[in-house]
Chain A
């Protein structure tokens, strides 16, 4: 086995894994119970987002995946933390994307992303423009609008009725995709807190071994989700 910095050793992995937990159920449960609770979202210190941007992202996520009804909402799942971390990282900086000119941001959308701006910069430039539109159209910034007006404002943004310049036109698509990613991704990325979304829909996460379950007819899989770090919900 190659020596990889930052990777848990096989022995360390077994200690915290499903396999280890199966051998030591009581110890594993005790470990889960003593785990530190995440700080409340209002005490989270964003890595990339400014205070204004954070407050917008909090409000927008709450509308895109609300907490009402069945299942957890984006705020319950700490999706804004995920978004902040993504924007600070490789995705936000478009580190792996081809970002050389010339650019044609107004090209047919079928030809794909053509903005000169990386996603983090698109959030940065688009949020104030959308806030300005909310104030002009509805008299308040997004966070202060009532739920129905927030929903209609986001719908206008989605439909391209907010008239963002073409280099920002993917803003809503990124915001929605990132929100769903943060809702459903492994908790190690900052969202899907306590695997609530997986438990809600019935996705078992990183269990990864279902040979006994192939072909079963109309039988619901009974085990709850497991995260990459071995946590169980």
Chain B
């Protein structure tokens, strides 16, 4: 029960990461009174990411200094409907952020637009290969929006975030050296690509020799000095090798702080409160609109009701879904009947990789960024004959490395003991002599991969934890095994002294311990039909028209790319609908 009610705002934003910052900025331009509530700490480049303290692998890389603390917020996980879900007691498989900037503080900066076919995957599969190739239980869905419609909004996000890259397709004209398989773009990236490390060049040359089409991976790291649409400045990347899990000390990595927040904080009609965890979205008596949110003010220990006309759910994807489930907005998904929408179509990301060790090559692995690297899209979702290969999906394939931090990133040949004299010998012999080629691929959603409330475990407020039910499926394992054959051919052509592959194989069980990716998507998905989606094509709740839900929770299944480019583009798409269509006449837009 709220013990305090604060004065009403026009808009309350839940979470101040990428999408919260974007929505705050766009709606502040309308003159609305906006309050953002952030459950974590306040953060900014200085002092929180400053040199030299940020270069502490133990504190940030290993002890997760910038990530969500499970003591305050976690979930339970099981692999199937029969298993008892157990809590994620400390982080591993994925690393949700909290604090101002959210996961946008500590991401790697890999910034992609989905391929055109990924937005309409079910239609594409049915039209091209026939519905009968879709495996039993796979819930393929269209997003109800097209690459063409989203193009201006992707461009906007890339211009704000400050992305370095090389276009492959400008208005249908293929550009030399770019990705020939990308959807048409209206313009090149705002900055040229980053410089390549030697391992990336070796990969690109090998791939080119095999007839593939290598291009520089688009990157949320400034390759030059840059000023974005909001007047925010980025400085060129130093290739320091401390990206993922770290904040950028150099104002180079695209993050909400560097690209948006300092401009947003200057708006007199925008304010934000940290250590303010939203417990529930409150609904009006008729259930058709929200009246505001109740949050826990960690400073005073009070529960506060914050009335607002518009509620924007902009937390991490998993927390968006948790909050909708706790608030009773939308019918919870039931995997047995297939009915309900909240929690439906959770999916993850299928990755794999091949490592190579060369006695006579010196790579200086600490010289790196989170996202430079050369990529091929020759085995991407749009390039594979699903009927012939027996799976649906695809991967991009990259030769790159992000850093050489010794605790987390020491890569030793297979067969090296994990400790003792031989381990010590091996670290001296092999550090800096390793490169790898990675596959980053799609992951489909299934009838039984979903999110709901856990029947047993509670959070510190006594609310049920969210429960994730997820395991790897044959389709996606076939996809990654296909990539293995392609990558190993490229790797072998580089003649390494030693080579080792790591890809999920048949029967692989989801292991929550090792880090995989923080690309948890779905659960509050967008679509054309309120029976199979939580949100309409503008990310507006079908059930409460003044509740809008941003983020990768909207993806109906996972794309083959890292999600941030897609969720950034969607946020600008939603902001445009809000500004031009909803605010003048609040109502369900579809």
- Asked whether, in the complex, the Cβ of B86 is within 8 Å of the Cβ of A114, the reply is yes
B196 at the interface (CB under 8 A from A): yes
Beyond A151-B420, A176-B418, A228-B55, is A112–B366 a contact (Cβ under 8 Å)?
A: no
Least distance between B77 CB and chain A CB atoms (Å): 7
Beyond A66-B420, A114-B86, is A96–B428 a contact (Cβ under 8 Å)?
A: no
Tell me which of B55, B89, B196 has the highest count of chain A C-beta atoms within 10 A of its own C-beta.
B89
B287 at the interface (CB under 8 A from A): no
Chain A residues with Cβ under 8 A from B406's Cβ?
184, 197-198, 201, 203
A111 at the interface (CB under 8 A from B): yes
Least distance between A104 CB and chain B CB atoms (Å): 6
A219 at the interface (CB under 8 A from B): yes
B379 at the interface (CB under 8 A from A): no
Give which listed residue, B194, B360, B513, contacts A112 with CB less than 8 A: B513
Q: B471: nearest residue on chain A (CB-CB)? A: A110
Interface residues of B in 446-460 (CB under 8 A from A): 456-458
A220 at the interface (CB under 8 A from B): yes
Binary B-proximity of A187-212 (CB < 8 A = 1, otherwise 0): 01100000001101111111111110
Give which listed residue, A69, A95, A97, A210, contacts B241 with CB less than 8 A: A210
Tell me which of A107, A112, A230 has the highest count of chain B C-beta atoms within 10 A of its own C-beta.
A112
Give the distance in Å from the alpha carbon of A7 to the alpha carbon of B86 in the complex: 39
A80 at the interface (CB under 8 A from B): no
Stretch at the interface among B10-18, B67-75, B566-574: B67-75
Task: Count chain B residues whose beta carbon lies closer than 8 angstroms to a beta carbon of A.
Answer: 72
B515 at the interface (CB under 8 A from A): no
Chain B residues with Cβ under 8 A from A217's Cβ?
198, 201
B62 at the interface (CB under 8 A from A): yes
Least distance between A229 CB and chain B CB atoms (Å): 8
A83 at the interface (CB under 8 A from B): no
Binary B-proximity of A80-102 (CB < 8 A = 1, otherwise 0): 00000000001100111111101
- Asked whether, in the complex, the Cβ of A17 is within 8 Å of the Cβ of B52, the reply is yes
Least distance between A37 CB and chain B CB atoms (Å): 23
B129 at the interface (CB under 8 A from A): no
B87 at the interface (CB under 8 A from A): yes
Chain B residues with Cβ under 8 A from A69's Cβ?
421, 424-425
Give which listed residue, B90, B196, B427, contacts A71 with CB less than 8 A: B427
Chain B residues with Cβ under 8 A from A221's Cβ?
364, 366-367
- Asked whether, in the complex, the Cβ of B86 is within 8 Å of the Cβ of A104, the reply is yes
Chain A residues with Cβ under 8 A from B511's Cβ?
110
Chain A residues with Cβ under 8 A from B238's Cβ?
208-211
Chain A residues with Cβ under 8 A from B367's Cβ?
210, 213-214, 221
- Asked whether, in the complex, the Cβ of A208 is within 8 Å of the Cβ of B71, the reply is no
Least distance between B62 CB and chain A CB atoms (Å): 6
- Asked whether, in the complex, the Cβ of B47 is within 8 Å of the Cβ of A2, the reply is yes
B237 at the interface (CB under 8 A from A): yes
Give the distance in Å from the alpha carbon of A2 to the alpha carbon of B48 in the complex: 10
- Asked whether, in the complex, the Cβ of A210 is within 8 Å of the Cβ of B424, the reply is no
A113 at the interface (CB under 8 A from B): yes
- Asked whether, in the complex, the Cβ of B512 is within 8 Å of the Cβ of A110, the reply is yes
A186 at the interface (CB under 8 A from B): yes
B195 at the interface (CB under 8 A from A): yes
A34 at the interface (CB under 8 A from B): no
Chain A residues with Cβ under 8 A from B432's Cβ?
201-202, 220
Binary B-proximity of A1-15 (CB < 8 A = 1, otherwise 0): 110100100000100
A43 at the interface (CB under 8 A from B): no
Chain B residues with Cβ under 8 A from A95's Cβ?
71
A145 at the interface (CB under 8 A from B): no
Task: Count chain A residues whose beta carbon lies closer than 8 angstroms to a beta carbon of B.
Answer: 71
Where chain B touches its partner, the secondary structure class is: loop
Least distance between B63 CB and chain A CB atoms (Å): 6
Give the distance in Å from the alpha carbon of A109 to the alpha carbon of B355 in the complex: 26
- Asked whether, in the complex, the Cβ of B90 is within 8 Å of the Cβ of A96, the reply is yes
- Asked whether, in the complex, the Cβ of B198 is within 8 Å of the Cβ of A218, the reply is yes
A36 at the interface (CB under 8 A from B): no
Give which listed residue, B90, B195, B421, B509, contacts A214 with CB less than 8 A: B195
- Asked whether, in the complex, the Cβ of A98 is within 8 Å of the Cβ of B74, the reply is yes
- Asked whether, in the complex, the Cβ of A112 is within 8 Å of the Cβ of B425, the reply is no
Binary A-proximity of B59-91 (CB < 8 A = 1, otherwise 0): 000111000011100100111000010111110
Give the distance in Å from the alpha carbon of A96 to the alpha carbon of B90 in the complex: 8
Chain B residues with Cβ under 8 A from A39's Cβ?
none
Give the distance in Å from the alpha carbon of A217 to the alpha carbon of B244 in the complex: 25
B285 at the interface (CB under 8 A from A): no
B197 at the interface (CB under 8 A from A): yes
B431 at the interface (CB under 8 A from A): yes
Interface residues of B in 492-538 (CB under 8 A from A): 509-513
Tell me which of B57, B58, B63 has the highest count of chain A C-beta atoms within 10 A of its own C-beta.
B58
A122 at the interface (CB under 8 A from B): no
Least distance between B431 CB and chain A CB atoms (Å): 4
A185 at the interface (CB under 8 A from B): yes
- Asked whether, in the complex, the Cβ of A210 is within 8 Å of the Cβ of B513, the reply is no
- Asked whether, in the complex, the Cβ of B195 is within 8 Å of the Cβ of A215, the reply is yes
B236 at the interface (CB under 8 A from A): yes
Interface residues of B in 378-418 (CB under 8 A from A): 404-407, 410, 418
- Asked whether, in the complex, the Cβ of A220 is within 8 Å of the Cβ of B362, the reply is yes
- Asked whether, in the complex, the Cβ of A114 is within 8 Å of the Cβ of B419, the reply is no
Give which listed residue, A100, A102, A181, A205, contacts B55 with CB less than 8 A: A205
Interface residues of A in 134-184 (CB under 8 A from B): 151, 154, 158, 176, 179-181, 184
B242 at the interface (CB under 8 A from A): yes
- Asked whether, in the complex, the Cβ of A219 is within 8 Å of the Cβ of B362, the reply is yes
Chain B residues with Cβ under 8 A from A102's Cβ?
456
Q: A17: nearest residue on chain B (CB-CB)? A: B52
B249 at the interface (CB under 8 A from A): yes
A42 at the interface (CB under 8 A from B): no
Give the distance in Å from the alpha carbon of A80 to the alpha carbon of B195 in the complex: 41
- Asked whether, in the complex, the Cβ of B407 is within 8 Å of the Cβ of A180, the reply is yes
Interface residues of B in 212-250 (CB under 8 A from A): 236-242, 249
- Asked whether, in the complex, the Cβ of A71 is within 8 Å of the Cβ of B510, the reply is no
Give the distance in Å from the alpha carbon of A98 to the alpha carbon of B89 in the complex: 5
Give which listed residue, B46, B70, B92, contacts A98 with CB less than 8 A: B70
Chain B residues with Cβ under 8 A from A100's Cβ?
87, 457-458
A124 at the interface (CB under 8 A from B): no
Q: B365: nearest residue on chain A (CB-CB)? A: A203
Give the distance in Å from the alpha carbon of A109 to the alpha carbon of B509 in the complex: 11
Least distance between B412 CB and chain A CB atoms (Å): 11
Give the distance in Å from the alpha carbon of A211 to the alpha carbon of B368 in the complex: 9
Give which listed residue, A114, A185, A203, contacts B431 with CB less than 8 A: A203
Beyond A98-B89, A114-B89, is A73–B242 a contact (Cβ under 8 Å)?
A: no
Least distance between B81 CB and chain A CB atoms (Å): 15
8 contacts between A and B (CB under 8 A): A95-B71, A97-B70, A98-B87, A180-B407, A181-B407, A185-B407, A210-B364, A211-B195
Please list the 10 inter-chain residue pairs (A to B) with the smallest Cβ-Cβ separation, ordered nearest first.
Answer: A206-B55, A185-B58, A98-B70, A201-B431, A184-B406, A208-B240, A210-B367, A96-B69, A214-B195, A110-B511
